[in-house]
Structure 1
Amino acid sequence: MTDPPARPPAEPAIAPRRGLTDRQKDILQKFAALGSLLVLILVFSLTSGAFFTVSNGMTIALQVTSIALLGIGATCVIITGGIDLSVGSVLALSGVVAALGVKELGMPVPVGMALGILTGAACGLLNGLVVTVMRLPPFIATLGMMLIARGVALQITGARAVSGLGESFGELGNGALFRMVTIGDDGFPNVAFPGIPYPVILMAAIALAVSLMLNRSVLGRHIYAVGSNVEAARLSGVNVRRVVCFTYVLSGTLAGLTGCVLMSRLVTAQPNEGVMYELDAIASAVIGGTSLIGGVGTISGTAIGAFVIGILRNGLNMNGVSAFTQQIIIGLVILLTVWIDQLRNRR
């Protein structure tokens, strides 16, 4: 009796190639944005001696606050798979309402600004309801709100600026913490340290709060779930309508707050303020790694993206680059980052 033929040795199993996870892609995009930010700082420090100073750093941080606050709201909306094109117009309407409340109705400044913020929240709620109840595409819904809010702002002001608001109205936008002023030998005040502007402190606090909400709360997990797969989220018991509405209300509220801060800095309410700000907000989110198809994005990445835009504009201004050329450069940066985002999603 012969032995059965020996079996050929089994071929070693080949482990399937695994692509990057969403978290790894997120980190990679964020580090890419951070690297771009450091390169910009290095280049502009070499080309302009006044760039790398404490005073200019505070100026940049103050200029970035509007982009960052709007970008935080835009990030939450985009994570759910939506878009908000109305924030620039809502910003103008909210600032105008706050100014008229203070000047025409005699409201205290905090009450007037609270009214402006509530106006922004109401616009955001309308956006959310139109998207979830009427089921209009977010692009169309927020485009309509963009036109409506701008029209209302121009109508209630007669297309004129609201001025004569008093020094107290400008405290929020122009005040600073830890500001140090010394009196020189000539008797004139010298600013030893410009201080940390109140809008910068507000921006940091809101960024931290929203970041914790996204990463540490059930609501944050639901926002990511809706953006990743809306049908799976619904079948898992997530109230999709409520989650989507919340993101639009948050975006509108932050637009209202940004309007109050910006009008406070100017101590004048301009109904034409905030034009094209929505594009800066979306660009800051995308540069920071937020995916336009939803489900991916972080507040820290958006903050980096906002500083990329702010530093790019500040550095180009210091080097005498015209405003028209700046628009071309920033437009190219946006196209490049969106293209990179598309390549990342295809892979």
Structure 2
Amino acid sequence: MSNPTIDKTGRPLFTDKQKDLIQKFAALGSLVILAIVFSVTSNAFFSVGNGMTIALQVTSIGLLGIGATCVIITGGIDLSVGSVLALAGVVAALAVKEWGMPVPIGMMLGILVGTLCGAINGLAVTQLKLPPFIATLGMMMVARGVALQITGARAVSGLGESFGQLGNGSLLRIESIADDGFPIVTFPGIPYPVLLMIVLAIVVATMLKRTVLGRHIYSVGSNSEAARLSGVHVSGVTLFTYVLSGALAGLTGCVLMSRLVTAQPNEGVMYELDAIAAAVIGGTSLIGGVGTISGTLIGAFVIGILRNGLNMNGVSAFTQQIIIGLVILVTVWIDQIRNRR
């Protein structure tokens, strides 16, 4: 019986790069189809305001997905980012409200907390030799517990307008004042979180594709033993990806709490699964060695548009979970078929 993935000479029909492009364009095609379908079912879907709303909602998945992609490329997994997000956010809020720190310093402290959690994850995987699933699952529980403990399981509110500037501000916003004194928004502007996501995506994508560290990340995921014999510091590279994931989780926590202008210790539940799903939908292989940041952002927008469109069509939150869960299952199944071939 012939193998559909090789030609008559025994050579593969598609290189790894070509297969990656096929997966990415498949995700992009799904994104376009979803946009067309929802634009037909809802007149408001293609409005500028709704587009900015989708982009803003996607930022949390996108930022976490960037970190998740790097970790998964090395063959690991990070289940702690949702809890680390919550811990970093409440630490930033407490630093501003209770400890009297300026907002930028408080948020830097939150990002530092996320970075520390990522470093602990990386050390548990590289030095203690714990499976990534177990190490990050433990951090997920610890970080959530600490967030609840230091806040007394209560929201931290009364943070002031300056705390909400990062999450709610926008660039190039155009508005005028009507005769009745109320503002008329001509263009809502590009939200700061969206700009932040784009800049970080470009930086990390460039790092993966254009630097020695990026090539080492791919080589560790493809074959860690071969990478080690080639002189790659496997433990150091793996540790870096977990630190990056933790730092991005800390940043996401600060951005999200800034949007709410309230720090919720229960925020971020299940966000880690959205981040992993975005990476996988965008072509990142769960066995490691394959993945791109651009694909992950496409996957994040697939999830964001799917949720937004279902909301606009009155689909219940429970049904949305079922649909998105099925999308993830089908995507992982396709990924497994690709890897077996």
Q: Is the counterpart of residue 215 in structure 1 residue 196 in structure 2?
A: no
The corresponding residue for 1:8 is: none
Instruction: Name the counterpart of 1:104.
Output: 98
1:27 aligns with 2:21: yes
Q: Does 1:277 align with 2:271?
A: yes
Q: 1:260 aligns with which of 254, 257, 264?
A: 254
Residue number among 140, 150, 154 corresponding to 2:148 in the alignment: 154
Return the alpha-carbon distance in structure 1 between the equivalents of residues 48 and 114 of structure 2. 33
Which of 132, 138, 141 is 1:138 aligned to? 132
| Partners of 1:86 and 1:283 in 2: CA distance | 15
Could you list the per-position Cα deviations for residues 150-170 of structure 1 after superposition, in whole angstroms to 9, with x for gaps in the alignment?
A: 000000000000001000000
Asked if residue 296 in structure 1 is aligned to residue 278 in structure 2, the reply is: no
> What is residue 80 of structure 2 aligned with on the other side?
86
Identical-residue share of aligned pairs (%)? 81
**Which amino acid is the alignment partner of residue 265 of structure 2?**
P
Larger radius of gyration: 1
1:309 to 295, 303, 327: 303
AA aligned opposite 2:194: V
Counterpart of 1:156 in structure 2: which amino acid? Answer: I
Note the C-alpha offset of 1:183: 1.5
- My pick for the range that moved more, 183-192 or 118-127, is 183-192
1:164 counterpart SS class = coil
Q: Equivalences for 1:101-250 in 2 at 5 Å?
A: 101-250=95-244
Q: 1:70 aligns with which of 56, 64, 72?
A: 64
Distance 2:28 2:66 in 1: 17
Matched letter for residue 252 of structure 1: G
CA deviation after TM superposition for structure 1 residue 209, in Å: 0.2
Distance in 2, matches of 1:149 and 1:17, equals 49
- Aligned counterparts of 1:180 and 1:90: Cα–Cα separation in 2: 36
Kindly indicate whether residue 313 of structure 2 is the aligned counterpart of residue 319 of structure 1.
yes
Runs of 4+ aligned structure 1 residues displaced above 4 Å come to none
Deviation track 1:187-234 (CA, whole Å, cap 9, x = no partner) reads 321011000000000000000000000000000000000000000000
- The residue that corresponds to 1:344 in the other structure is 338
Distance 2:13 2:269 in 1: 41
Aligned letter for 1:306?
A
Supply the AA of the counterpart residue of 1:246: F
Output the CA distance in 2 between the equivalents of 1:19 and 1:148.
47
Which residue identity lines up with residue 326 of structure 1 in the other structure? Answer: Q
Q: How far apart in 1 are the matches of 2:277 and 2:333?
A: 12
Work out the CA distance in 2 between the residues paired with 1:187 and 1:264.
27
- Aligned partners of 1:342, 1:28: CA distance in 2, in Å? 15
Partner of 1:7: none
1:265 and 1:15 mapped to 2: Cα distance? 57
Write the deviation string for residues 51-110 of structure 1: whole angstroms up to 9, x where unpaired: 000000000000000000000000000000000000000000000000000011100000
Read off the aligned partner of 1:117 and give its amino acid letter. Answer: I
Unaligned runs of 5+ in 2: 1-7
| SS at 1:192 equivalent | strand
1:190 is paired with a residue whose SS is strand
In the comparison of the two structures, how many residue pairs are matched?
334
Q: CA deviation at 1:17?
A: 4.0
Match of 1:60 in 2: 54
